[in-house]
Amino acid sequence: MDGRRVFLKRFVKSGFGLLAFLFGATLLRFLYPSQVRARQLLYHPLLKEDDIPRQGVRRVHLTYDKGEKTITMRLFLVHAGADIFALSSSCAHLGCLVDWSRHKEQFICPCHGGKYDMQGNVVAGPPPLSLARMPLKIENGIVYIGIKV
């Protein structure tokens, strides 16, 4: 009778161990995607180099095809000192579209009052992060913006 109890205890413990293992494996499979694909950076022509603002901010639109869809993005091209860079127009708080205020020299989010300086850094309001900088390159007199696809 003692042998049967030991067997049943080991059997029940093994069953619970197997259930815990299966639960853990299922949880890990759920938390970590099976295919993590590296997104490729593709550069799309934006405008001619001559159209870059001499100083300040210029709002530009980029239209490109992504599969069967045509995507249009609004960006800001900034020429500050010797730096030329592109900023996303999406607020880091909730994704609203920010606008450049020439009078205040700030990007302002109309949704919740977020404010960014010319570099895209948060000045005031709820945004947790700066405006995203977009990859930019200039080749053969054309400005290209990098988009991850």
Q: What is the mean predicted confidence (pLDDT) over 128-136? A: 89
Query: What does the alpha-carbon distance between residue 111 and residue 131 come to, in Å, rounded to a whole number?
Result: 15
pLDDT in tens, 3-62: 788 888 888 889 888 899 888 888 877 777 666 566 788 888 888 888 788 888 888 888
Q: Is the pLDDT of residue 95 over 70?
A: yes
User: Span 41-148: which CATH code?
Assistant: 2.102.10.10
Break the chain into its structural domains and give their ranges: 1-36, 41-148
